[in-house]
Copies of this chain bind each other. A is one copy, B any other.
Amino acid sequence: MTDQSPPEMPPADLPRLGEIGLTNFAPYLMNRIMGRYNASLREEMAGLGLTTPKMRALAVLSVIEGPLIRELAVYSVVEQSTLSRALDQLATEGLIRREADATDSRATRVFITEAGRAAFETLWPHMSEAHSRMFRGIPADERSAFVGTLQKMLTNIRKHEI
């Protein structure tokens, strides 16, 4: 692939972060908001031995039936190696079950158990409550517009997968 243009085209004249302002820069706001959302969930659930990777895996598995581990890693937003170890714990605690894929013997599918569903039942109200706090005072139409934009953004940033 030949490329006529210089290796790194310097941006003509990028607006500066100071000009935009931190609180008008969407990624900054999203990191602030999710930082607190995740921190409060983590604090609330730490007593139950639920770490962030374990919570996320359970939440996804409550909705998606028997994904491959690499798929679960993407859905859960957890590094695959970290997820592998979180699944070890969840399996030991009887909350999930690994099962060899029927047609590809390299692959493993993950299933939530009844105990896992029960654990998620105690987790979900906390997630839901944190969600409600986030959206307090924001009307329904604004909420759905917001989610619509998020969905576009997700398709934008996906590499190609899932």
Contacts and interface: CB of A to CB of B under 8 A. Distances in A.
B147 A145 contact: no
A116 to B, nearest CB: 13
B75 A22 contact: yes
A68 interface: no
Contact of A37 (B16, B56, B157): B157
Interface stretch (A84-92, A100-108, A132-140): A132-140
Given A134-B26, A135-B153, A151-B29, A62 B146 contact: no
Nearest to A138: B152
Contact of A154 (B29, B63, B128, B130): B29
A81 interface: no
Give the one of A62, A127, A146, A152 with max B CB within 10 A.
Answer: A146
Given A134-B27, A157-B133, A142 B150 contact: no
A38 B27 CA distance: 9
Given A62-B18, A134-B157, A33 B124 contact: no
Contacts of A16: 124
